[in-house]
A and B are shown apart, each in its own frame.
Chain A
Amino acid sequence: MALLTERDNTTVMGKIRPVRSRNFALTVPALLLLVVFFILPVLSLLLRSVLEPEPGLGNYQALLGSTTYLKIFLNTFSVSALVTVVTLAIGFPVAWALAIMPSRLSSIVFAILLLSMWTNLLTRTYAWMVLLQRTGVINKTLMGLGLISEPLPLVNNLVGVTIGMTYIMLPFIILPLYGVIRKIDPAILQAAALCGATRWQALTRVLIPLATPGMVSGALMVFVMSLGYFVTPALLGGTANMMLAELIAQFVQSLVNWGMGGAAALVLLVVTLALYAIQLRLFGTARMEGR
């Protein structure tokens, strides 16, 4: 039984047999699963990008040389950036409020955050498709208030994607940021006030700088997650603003072009891993301590 191998420095007549690696065997099932069904398939997909239809970098030339594809890259980055900025702008005050609110109030907000996070992704996206459609509640309300006379196009465009993605990403920035602000000692801000700082100065020179590591880390996470998002952009976005994940799926599913699909996947993978490397570089140790 694998669990028994834990203390495997067996002693014979007082002599010790040192064992180099202890308990490595326990990780083998998980490792095997990931090697066979994760690492190898992904590598083989990436390999196809330089092998199909013929060996060479033709797929990458086609991908990076065409304005159609470049537009998709650009769109992916700008949507992700926009979503990141909006979630951060909303997330910071909310996290701040949650950190200091009486727990009666904050626990309600936490329950809502969790409910929203745990609700099926398609359900949430569907909800926004319904709300944002031409005859949806939002257009109806705005027209009823007399603010607009024609229904606004809110879905199948950038507005729809941004709203839908922001909705999904908000908890991912509020929760970690809440943790960061919660850890700041209120005495530091009292000290700032005693030093003569106005509220605004205390905010911009003390609170925000102290929360910056959390904001950068959360923003990076949201940005990276947005880059590879598939479902929400596919349902709420239009054909004019397709994103990278959809492009990959399209190459494989509709066009059966594995070479191009692999190339696009590599681009997404490289950008994602690079941003994660930055994240680890900046915050890796701090995160470990937090555990």
Chain B
Amino acid sequence: MLLNFDRLGGWKWILVGITGLTAAFLVLPIVFIAALSFGSSQWLIFPPPAWTLKWYEAFFADPRWLEAAGTSFYIAAIVTVLSVLIGLVASFGLVRGRFIGKEGLRALFLTPMILPVVVLAVALYAFFLRIGLNGTVTGFVIAHLVVALPFSILSITNALEGFDKSIEDAAVLCGASPLEAKLRITLPSISHGLFSAAVFSFLTSWDEVVLAIFMASPTLQTLPVKIWATLRQDLTPVIAAASTLLIVITIALMLLVALLRKGLKS
């Protein structure tokens, strides 16, 4: 009875109530920020005394915001490409390979996901101080790649495990060389895994704060670092405007993923 929604009786309303409140709790802050970014109050008073676009104007007028956003995008794009490529090759090794210590290696590849980022950030910061990579795009890319790769490997190994190798064998028997069979048959068949690897890798880098705070220099910073630095001074509504833009990008990405999933199904 407890797992039948219509036969829960009074409990049904308790559950629906809690779920509704939780959903509100999760969505309202995002809505508020979006609303406040159009409010005129410097102190983020709600409801705003008047509506305005001046925070967006401030955002787009300040080259440092745009530069930070550009840097973020540039780094995230490189991280995405490398993460998918390295992850793809490693996933073939993990799924199709036969060697001693394979399971241990798989676990090792996922550890950056569970390790507290601050430990990695401090460790890499120390290492980069020595080899001079702090404040460089290379440094950012390497740091983000370490935390993005596990997501990539996870998505691609999952897809590859779900792909029946007989299909690739069939392509080989049809006359395709092993490499050709992989490129023309296997990769398109696991494209959903490659796609989610790309999305997760991009978002991991794009949203990453902790590593970036340590890697950043006065001349090179990502958008999250810029927000962080601004936040530490005050809660200016420009951040609300920047946040709203980020939310819009997030929603666009989510819709894209949902659409592609639908496209894959049909």
Contact = CB atoms under 8 A, between A and B. Distances in A.
A37 B22 contact: no
B46 A41 contact: no
A228 B118 CA distance: 7
Interface stretch (B58-66, B94-102, B188-196): B94-102
A113 B19 CA distance: 11
Contacts of A265: 118-119, 122-123
A99 B3 CA distance: 8
Counting chain B CB atoms within 10 Å of each CB, which of A27, A40, A206, A248 scores highest? A27
B174 interface: no
Interface in A249-277: 249, 252-253, 258, 261, 265, 268-269, 272, 276
Interface stretch (A28-36, A56-64, A66-74): A28-36
Nearest to B36: A130
B2 A25 contact: no
A78 interface: no
A38 B142 CA distance: 10
B229 to A, nearest CB: 11
Per DSSP, are chain B's interface residues mostly helix, strand or loop, or mixed? helix
A269 B115 contact: yes
Interface of B: 1-5, 8-9, 11, 14-16, 18-19, 22-23, 25-27, 29-30, 32-33, 36, 43-46, 86-87, 89-90, 92-94, 96-100, 105, 108-109, 111-112, 114-127, 142-143, 145-146, 149, 153, 158, 161, 178-179, 182, 203, 206-207, 209-210, 214, 224, 227-228, 231, 235, 239-240, 243, 246-247, 250-251, 253-254
Interface of A: 1-4, 6-7, 20-27, 29-31, 33-34, 37-38, 40-42, 44-45, 48, 90, 93-94, 96-102, 105, 108-109, 111-116, 118-124, 126-131, 133, 135-137, 140, 167, 170-171, 181, 184, 186, 189-190, 193, 199, 202-203, 206-207, 224, 227-231, 235, 245, 248-249, 252-253, 258, 261, 265, 268-269, 272, 276, 291
26 contacts: A21-B99, A24-B99, A26-B92, A27-B97, A27-B105, A27-B109, A44-B127, A45-B119, A97-B18, A100-B3, A118-B203, A118-B253, A122-B209, A124-B29, A126-B240, A130-B235, A136-B46, A167-B26, A167-B29, A186-B3, A207-B2, A228-B115, A231-B210, A245-B118, A265-B122, A268-B119
